[in-house]
Amino acid sequence: MALHDGRVVIVTGAAGGIGREHALEFARQGAQVVVNDLGPAEAVVEEITAMGGRAVANHDDVSDWDAAGSLVQTALDEFGDLHVLVNNAGILRDKMFVNMDVDMWDAVMKVHLRGTFCPTKHAVAHWRAKAKAGERVHHPRVINTSSPSGLYGNVGQSNYGAAKAAIAAFTVILADELARLDITVNAIAPSALTGMTAGLHDYVEKMKEIKATTGFDAGSPANIAPLVVWLASEEAADITGRVFNVKGGAISVAETWTAGPGVEQWERWDPAQLGAVVPKLVADARPNSDGSGKPRAESR
């Protein structure tokens, strides 16, 4: 029996890249898939039907409130239910901050952050209504898409990184809020060669080198799908509120912000005191990570 026999899955931004691979792998695992994208989602639907699966294309804008509701309704109308929502849709508007305009900022926030909120809100409303009606919700899942840029930072992506960091926080908070409904919420921070990363010369060259020396296509977006498909399955019932780094054959848990070295006194601090305190705290703390999640001192 496949992991998702009889289950219904929505994948946003699924016409190409990582989203396409999600949709195909869910179909291989028995799911009925709503392939959402503003672009030509029909090609992915054809691939799924050619392998004997069931899928439908949907072109609703996930960042539009009513359209996101229509997206969820498409799953219900076409397949009779919804079990999994994968929020994958995204865009880039990379620019150094001093050259970034407000439209670049707003566009990225709209697609990534609002485009995660709107479908999730409609999906959760459906699952909550079923639970209140006494119907068993069959392992509902939300899988969000963060990024190493949001977790660890990347020059030239203050808009994208801020949106992806917010999605990671959204994931952790929502997991706690929805636990009573047995809805799990997790996220991935993927790295792969797609249209969105084609301009990252050093990364592209590194992936080519790995493939040439090992034979493994570490940059393929197909490497991301297995973890997402597993997190969306019944087997992952005890995993929630987590963000996973995934690239090539590597999977790791991204650990959230934690309180590091600190001091405390039972009176208000005088700013004049802090010159002898704060530099030592920073010196004792772990360094910020580089783009791969390793402490910057280790990557030099």
Judge whether 81 and 129 are in contact, CB under 8 Å. Answer: no
Classify residue 293 as left (phi > 0), alpha (psi -120 to 50) or beta.
Answer: left
| Three-class DSSP category at 190 | strand
Nearest to 15 by CA among 90, 106, 115, 110: 90
Alpha helices in the chain (DSSP H): 17-28, 42-50, 65-79, 102-108, 115-132, 148-152, 158-178, 201-214, 225-231, 278-284, 296-299
203 noted as active-site residue = no
Count of other CB atoms within 10 angstroms of residue 109: 18
If you search the block for the tokens 């030509």, which residue do you land on? 40
DSSP category for residue 233: S
Catalytic residue among 79, 160, 170, 244: 160
Kindly state the tokens that stand for 294: 């390793």
Report the distance separating Cα 212 and Cα 57, nearest Å.
36
The phi and psi torsions of 205 (rounded to 5 degrees) equal -65, -40
Count of other CB atoms within 10 angstroms of residue 286: 11
Residues carrying an active site annotation: 160
